[in-house]
Structure 1
Amino acid sequence: MRQAATFDLLTGRFEVPDNNPADVIASEWQWLLKDADGADWPQYQALIESAYAEPKLRRLYPFTGHWALGFSPTPDYLFTPSFVSIDSLLGTGDYTIREWWNGPALHHVTTAAEAIAIAVDRIPADLSPII
């Protein structure tokens, strides 16, 4: 593919040949880490890296929408009810935790580590990740 489309930058995102859910989750995490590393947004990079460092969250499919980070137990059903959405407005330096991306703010914290700790505490006991 790289030889045929030299004009395009391949990211590796969604390049899981057998669509194995565990591999799709791992691939999406790698894409988010790469994307955050290239973003000119230190708070977003810290959020993605902190989330990835947490084994309980790393088992879940990460997704972003409107620059908010959310999680799903499977890559197949992203729009299932969320248990947490974390965002950081560019330039503000703080994080807002919501139940879903446009829901009311539940918490405001100043570090990615605090935001991730709250996210982990909000993981439902009956949530069944696929990995």
Structure 2
Amino acid sequence: MVDAGGITAVLQAACPGCDIDLRDAPRAFGGFVVASRGDRAALVTPVGDERLFYVRHELREMRLSRVTTTELAEVTGSAAAWLGGATPRELAAAWPFADFVDVADAYESGDRTELSWQQYRANKKDGLGEFVEAAMREPRLRRMYPFKSMWWMSFRPTSDEYWVPGPWVRPAGAGRFTVAESRQVAPEITYDAAEAVRVCLTEMDRLGVPSPEDLRSRDSGR
């Protein structure tokens, strides 16, 4: 396994003219590396005990990817292509492990709600993946702004509306999820992803969670 110092050397060779910065990080094998050029950056973290490289691709300081690979060639190749100006689609075509096209499209559109959905969809490590996929197929939830607090996910009518009465969703393992009004009470019932979505909708009705349309109607009536 190559440590961060070794990655620094290979990125310097693969990305001539780029700025290369070695930084400290917990659990990283010798730190992590930031390679940048202009408004783009590639962040590489080697994790020795997992024999993995964590790779992030940034545009204008927005992190568009959170991908992993065991292949150093994929790290250096994707970094060189990204820093050389490849579009997200071009990058995904050449390096399929680094597919963040949907996240990039949402970012460029300026739709903060869609960007949040796509970022959670791309995150494979938080245990919410099946629920996120099911929630994105439900039109009412898809219009809401998803966010996380610790391990819990909930929904706001818009990215700027911060009143959140619930419900809160948390992974319970093995593709099961809990749905709760309060994060202070540990729920005993678990649901599969589709069931959890249905329970969320019922709870939103019970708690009086407004939709984006409700807020617009309220604001227009002032």
Q: Same fold (TM over 0.5)?
A: yes
Partner of 2:157 in structure 1?
Answer: 73
Residues of 2 paired with 1:104 and 1:75: CA distance? 26
- Return the structure number with greater relative CO, CA threshold 8 A, min gap 6: 1
Q: How many aligned residue pairs are there?
A: 119
Return the offset for 1:93: 4.3
User: Among residues 132, 154, 170, which one is paired with 1:87 in the alignment?
Assistant: 170
Instruction: Check if 1:52 corresponds to 2:52.
Output: no
Partner of 2:81 in structure 1?
Answer: none
The one-letter code sitting in structure 2 at the alignment partner of 1:103 is Q
Q: TM-score, normalised by structure 1?
A: 0.73
Instruction: Check if 1:7 corresponds to 2:50.
Output: no
Return the offset for 1:26: 1.0
Q: Which stretch of structure 1 is more off in the superposition, 2-11 or 114-123? A: 2-11
Residues of 2 paired with 1:94 and 1:123: CA distance? 20
For structure 2, the residue ranges without an aligned partner over 5 or more in a row are 1-35, 44-56, 59-63, 65-102, 217-222
The one-letter code sitting in structure 2 at the alignment partner of 1:120 is L
Query: Could you report, residue by residue, the CA deviation over 1:20-53 in whole angstroms, capped at 9, with x for unpaired residues?
Result: xxx1111111111111xx32x6x52101111111
Give the strand-richer structure, 1 or 2: 2
The one-letter code sitting in structure 2 at the alignment partner of 1:6 is A
Change (3 A) 1:82 1:107: farther
Q: Which has the larger radius of gyration?
A: 2
Return the offset for 1:109: 2.3
Instruction: Check if 1:127 corresponds to 2:210.
Output: yes
CA contact (8 A) 1:16 1:27 kept: no
Return the offset for 1:83: 2.7
Residues of 1 paired with 2:122 and 2:135: CA distance? 14
Identity %: 24
Instruction: Check if 1:99 corresponds to 2:194.
Output: no
For structure 1, the residue ranges without an aligned partner over 5 or more in a row are none
Q: How does 1:103-118 map to 2 (within 5 A)?
A: 103-105=184-186, 108-118=189-199
